[in-house]
A = this chain, B = another copy of it.
C-alpha cells in the first residue's frame, strides 16, 4: 500500500489541507486531508463522503471540513468510484452508474469500503490523524458507500451521519445498483451511534424504504431526523444537527 502526498500543505480560511494518493490493487485513490490549524498531534477525524456527481472537494465537504477544523477535528475525503480524480473527465450519472453496474455493485461497495480503511490507516500511520477516533458523514450515494464501511468497522466507528438513501430506489436509478439484501445486511451490522436524515418527499429513494433502512440499523443509539422537501434539498438546521452530532461524539471519545 503506497501512500504519497500529491501536493504541499496549503492553508486558507482557517484550515490546512493536503492532497494525497493511495496506490491500491484496483487503482489509485485520490484523497484530501484537512487539518485543524495550528496542527494538534493526531486529532480525531471525520470521513466526508460526497454525493452522486460530486467529488472529494465538493462545496459541502469543504464547508464541513472548515467547521470541524475550527473545533480541533480533522476531515478526510476520497473520491467515490468513477468520480473526481479517479476519472479523466467527470462522468454523467448514466455513465458512472453503468460503470458501477459493469464492475458489480457489491464489488464496488467492498472496494470503496477498503479504500476508506486504507486511507484512514495510512494517515493514522503517519500520525496526522488518530485513526481510532473516527466518524463518518455522508448522505445519498455517500450513505450507499458508507454503510458497508460502517458494517466492517463496527464499534471502531464512533459515530455516523447517514440518510437520503434506502432499501428501495426510485425508477431513475438503474436496477443493477439495487442490492437491497446487501444493504439490509450491512445496516444490521452497524453498531455506532447514527443520525439518519430523511427528506420527507425524497424523489430518488422512496420514504418507506428509508424508514425501513433506519429500522434495520443495528445501532442501539440511533436517531432519525426528517424534513419536508425533495432529495436535493437540505435545510441549514439539518447541517447544524449533523455537525453537532459528529463533534460531540468525537470530542467525547478523544
Contact = CB atoms under 8 A, between A and B. Distances in A.
- The count of identical subunits is 2
A114 B50 CA distance: 50
Given A200-B215, A215-B200, A228 B222 contact: yes
Interface string A223-241: 1111110000000010000
Interface in A202-254: 211, 214-215, 220, 222-228, 237
A188 to B, nearest CB: 14
Contacts of A222: 227-228
B228 A225 contact: no
Contacts of A226: 214, 223-226
Size class of the contact patch on chain A: 10 to 19
Of A220, A222, A224, A226, the most chain B CB neighbours within 10 A belong to: A226
Contacts of A214: 200, 226
A225 B225 CA distance: 5
B224 A237 contact: no
Given A198-B224, A224-B224, A224-B225, 11 more contacts: A200-B214, A200-B215, A200-B224, A214-B226, A220-B228, A222-B227, A223-B225, A223-B237, A224-B226, A224-B227, A226-B226
